[in-house]
Amino acid sequence: MPSAPTKLYADDVSLLVVLLDTNPFFWSTSSLPFSKFLSHVLSFLNSILLLNQINQIVVIATGCNSCDYIYDSSLSTNPGIENGKLPALCSELLKKLEDFVTRDEQLNKQQSQSLPPTTTSSLLSGSLSMALCYIQRVFRSGPLHPHPRILCVQGSSDGPEQYVAIMNSIFSAQRSMVPIDSCYIGSNNSAFLQQASYITGGVYQKPQQLDGLFQYLSTVFATDLHSRTFLQLPKSVGVDFRASCFCHKKTIDMGFICSVCLSIFCKHHKKCSTCGSVFGQAQSDVASASNLKRKTPET
Amino acid sequence: MNNGNGRRLNGETEEDDDDEGSEGDLDAWERTYADERSWESLQEDESGLLRPMDNKTLYHAQYRRRIRSLSSQATTSRIQKGLIRYLYIVVDLSRAAAEMDYRPSRMAVVAKHVEAFIREFFDQNPLSQLGLVTIKDGIAHCLTDLGGSPESHVKALMGKLECSGESSLQNALDLVHGYLNQVPSYGHREVLILYSALSTCDPGDILETIQKCKKSKMRCSVIGLSAEIFICKHLCQETGGSYSVAMDESHFKELILEHAPPPPAIAEFAIANLIKMGFPQRAAESSIAICSCHKEAKVGGGYTCPRCKARVCELPTECRICGLTLISSPHLARSYHHLFPIVPFDEVSSSVLSDPHNRLPRSCFGCQQSLPNPGNKPSLRVACPKCKQHFCLDCDIYIHESLHNCPGCESFRHLKSPIATEE
């Protein structure tokens, strides 16, 4: 934790946990080269540290096969600012990032020997969980602590197999009032990140011009939580909360839910494919009809 | 072990002293020692010095015991939980609820914790419904009907906090039985009675009522505020509920919050069924429509029922027009962690720790806190049996109580893929 005296913690001191997508499958197809992207992000991180002397930054890399912490401003060789050592951030972060990417690649090679590469999504659930653990530690450090928030800079598409884990993280973040901001630089919108930002009260933004990424980051995501109340930040355009059925993966408006395991089906089945319970006939229509009959005389 | 399972920190290491009962006639200066047992929170370290006891490890040990017992329950009785619950909370507002042994009164304490419970209940069981019943002057009143909005229940309860007369268990059970008989068969019927009185004043044979409740598969649980009562115990035993008596306010809070997570379901209690539900879409922020729940014109932010196109303000709810249950997919997702719980972490044994060939991770995988090598003391680290990553005790608690994800398992693809195919 920063060594600054605790009384300095005001409303506008932030702890920003940045989750960087380092998925090679995405960056090889992206119009913005990874090196350019990094220079945008590094300037952004530096500007956060400049906004307040005791702001804190943690960077977690979200890889394709693993996740790891790559930078923690409270651990770095501080106090660097008066020694003119500001670039320490860049060199330290870049070195760790390089290590991480090499390790991630090796894991990928091991993986592809045993199994063909099936998914090209990043392990967002892992880095979200790690970020939340770190934030809990900051909460434990005492009554005065910087205000934490999470920023996901994500490019690769959602991995459906992470759905439950990501939702668990989102609810945990919501409970501890940690907003999840998301800056999505991929081609289509990410349903996971839209939901994450909507549920936790964060900002979801999909930059139109990737060349101006730094401007998006600094104007939308650099403001601390206290100042956000005075700003007009981008509003969500509408989040799709419809579910997709387990049997055909179709997005549905109306469907059937197994009362035992809450699996979603688009039509009536005799047996639940997830938990194996055998269903009686669809009673819900009958039940709701009788409910209606009971309610009408009252109103 | 008695009801207060490990409430006194050292209850398990030392037999309770026999002067316990005579605490009442101690002088004030003696009592501070007798109550606090300050000598018990000291321990000797290696060099023979007295040190304050490490409460954290004790707390953690308690927590681990609980989580172990929970997971063993889950494996013996297959993971089936009553996720769709219809719960009535019966609050006893008889004369006994005005007693001042809880500060400021039993009634106020009950109300305060019921409020917290209602919020926790809907957080953990978004598809369930809850209703409130009060007992006053020997008669049971229905305060709120079964419903899904925490605010309306809390408001109704806070408005009706006065007590008088006798208490009647039978009247309350009869009333609740009448209501719960109407709920759909896939729902789990539960009653939670918060009982202050020491007696019950009944119009008929209560044993018959209990049999009736048993027949309609109502799970009745009682939390007493004064002393154990035979009839309450009998009721809980017959219907498969749990009976406990609170010793003080914090214990009461603990006991009531135990009822928030869904109980393990008994298969024949509720018939598996497919429930028809709608997933309404959120309307655009600027649109104006009359909502069917408040019958007012509102700007933006409503949901439209996919079957009859009526507007409702919030989810989850039941459409007022066509009766379709309306939910959103995050509501379902909120319950999934009950079905796919994560395994308890193993303590790292001291033999592994002392083995010099073993290179141990120096920091917690979750929060990066450095993990000290504790020598011969009980280890301060735990490891996930699946991904073998090490975690600190605080992260262990957070991961199991709130996050419900193992960061280690989530951040390695090769560990995830076999699990994903299993499901």
Could you tell me if residue A179 is inside a domain?
yes
For B183, name the nearest residue in chain A, comparing CA atoms only: A287
Which of B405, B406, B417 to mutate: most A Cβ within 10 Å?
B405
Pairwise CA distance, residues A147 & B386, whole Å: 33
Element (H, E) at B193: strand B188-195
Q: What is the mean pLDDT of chain A?
A: 81
The reply to whether A1 falls in a domain is no
Query: Are A256 and B274 in contact (CB < 8 Å)?
Result: yes
Please name the residue of chain A whose CA is at the shortest distance from the CA of residue B276: A256
Q: First CA to last CA across chain B, in angstroms?
A: 39
Judge if A190 and A68 occupy the same domain.
Answer: yes
A262 falls within a domain: yes
Would residue A265 count as lying in a domain?
A: yes
Q: Which residues of A touch B325 (CB under 8 A)?
A: 284, 288
A192 touches chain B (CB under 8 A): no
Are residues A214 and A73 part of one domain?
A: yes
Please confirm whether the linkage preceding B104 is cis (ω < 30° from 0): yes
The answer to whether B417 contacts A118, with C-beta atoms less than 8 Å apart, is: yes
Q: With cut-offs at 50, 70 and 90, classify the pLDDT of residue A296.
A: very low
Cβ neighbourhood burial of A139 (10 Å; 0-12, 13-18, 19+): middle
pLDDT over 70 for what percent of chain A?
83
On chain A, the residues whose CB falls within 8 A of the CB of B261 are none
Lowest mean pLDDT among A14-23, A188-197, B230-239: A188-197
Residue A245 CA to residue A240 CA, distance in Å, equals 14
The C-alpha of B271 sits at a distance from chain A's nearest C-alpha, in angstroms, of 8
Nearest chain B residue to A237 by CA distance is B284
Whether residue A134 sits in one domain with residue A92? yes
Kindly state whether residues A260 and A143 are assigned to the same domain: no
pLDDT confidence band for A15 (50 / 70 / 90): very high
| Residue B374: predicted pLDDT | 58
* pLDDT of B109: 92
With both helix axes pointing from N to C terminus, report the angle between B230-239 and B206-215 in degrees, rounded to the nearest 10.
20
A150 and A107 share one domain: yes
Same domain, residue pair A108 and A248:
no
Instruction: Measure in Å the smallest separation between the Cα of B148 and chain A Cα atoms.
Output: 16
Inter-chain residue contact B403 with A169, CB threshold 8 Å? yes
Minimal CA separation from A211 to chain B, in Å: 30
Mutate to test the interface with A, among B274, B363, B388 (most CBs of A within 10 A): B274
Tokens linked to A265: 């089906």
- Do residue B402 and residue A126 have CB atoms under 8 angstroms apart? no
CB nearest A133 (choices: B84, B275, B398):
B398
Q: Closest by alpha carbon to B129, among B174, B173, B84, B98?
A: B84
Contacts of B125 in chain A (CB under 8 A): none
CB contact under 8 A, B276 and A284: yes
* Nearest CB to B83; choose among A64, A242, A262: A262
Pick the residue of A59, A69, A166, A168 with the most B CBs within 10 A to test the interface with B by mutation.
A168
Integer CA distances (angstroms), B332 to A167, A243, B307, in order = 10, 9, 20
Total-model pTM: 0.78
Domain co-membership, A150 together with A173: yes
Peptide bond preceding A79 in cis form (omega within 30 of 0):
yes
- Same domain? A283 vs A222: no
Residues B96-106 as b or e (16 or more Cβ within 10 Å = b): bbbeeebeebb
Cα separations in angstroms, B365 against A68, A174, B295, B382: 9, 22, 52, 10
Same domain? For A224 and A137 the reply is yes
The answer on A205 and A60 residing in a single domain is yes
Which of A162, A165, A261 is the closest to B339 by Cβ?
A: A261
At which residue do the structure tokens 């809907």 appear? Answer: B122
Domain count, chain A: 2
Q: How far apart are CA A220 and CA B62, in angstroms?
A: 45
Q: Which domain holds residue A157?
A: 14-228
Is the same domain home to A148 and A62? Answer: yes
The residue whose two tokens read 């951040």 is B411
Q: Nearest by CB to A256, from B275, B369, B411: name it.
A: B275
Domain finish residue from A228, A252, A274:
A228
Q: Which of A68, A133, A176 sits opposite B366 (nearest CB)?
A: A133
Q: What is the CATH number of the domain that holds A69?
A: 3.40.50.410
Amino acid symbol at B188:
H
CB interface of A with B, residues 72-91, below 8 Å: 72
The confidence band for A274, taking pLDDT boundaries of 50, 70 and 90, is confident
A242: distance to nearest CA of chain B, Å? 5
Q: Which of A126, A257, A287 sits opposite B274 (nearest CB)?
A: A257
Nearest Cβ partner for B282 among A110, A238, A279: A238
Residue A21 in domain: yes
Q: Cβ–Cβ of B407/A133 closer than 8 Å?
A: yes
Name the minimum distance, in Å, from the CA of B138 to any CA of chain A.
Answer: 27
Of B173, B237, B182, the residue nearest B202 (C-alpha)? B173
Asked if A283 is an interface residue toward chain B (Cβ–Cβ < 8 A), one would say yes
Out of B271, B328, B410, name the one closest to residue A280 (CB): B271
A213 found inside a domain = yes
Do B410 and A65 count as a contact with CB atoms less than 8 A apart?
Answer: no
Question: Which pLDDT score is estimated for B420?
Answer: 39
pLDDT by 10s per residue, chain B, length 423? 444 444 444 444 444 444 444 445 667 676 666 666 666 667 776 677 776 666 666 677 777 767 766 665 555 445 567 788 899 999 999 999 988 888 888 999 999 999 999 998 988 888 888 999 999 999 999 999 888 888 889 999 888 888 889 999 999 999 999 999 888 888 889 999 999 999 999 999 999 999 999 998 899 999 999 999 999 999 999 998 999 999 888 889 989 998 998 887 765 666 778 888 888 877 766 778 888 877 888 777 778 888 888 888 877 788 888 888 888 888 888 888 887 788 888 887 766 766 666 677 888 998 888 887 655 555 678 888 888 888 988 898 899 888 998 999 988 876 544 443 333
Q: Write down the pLDDT at residue B69.
A: 65
Query: What residues of chain A, 222 to 261, have a C-beta less than 8 Å from chain B?
Result: 235, 238-243, 252-261
Whether residue A3 lies inside any domain: the answer is no
**Does A235 reside within a domain?**
no
A222-236 per-position pLDDT tens digit: 988 888 889 888 877
Tell me: do A156 and A71 sit in the same domain. yes
- pLDDT at residue B161, rounded to an integer: 84
Min CA distance, B224 vs chain A (Å)? 30
As given in the structure block, the two tokens for residue B164 are 């008088």
On chain B, the residues whose CB falls within 8 A of the CB of A238 are 281-282, 284
Last residue of a domain, one of A182, A199, A228: A228
The residue out of A228, A260, A284 marking a domain boundary is A228
The reply to whether A298 touches chain B by the CB within 8 Å rule is no
Report residue A20: phi and psi, to 5°: -95, 130
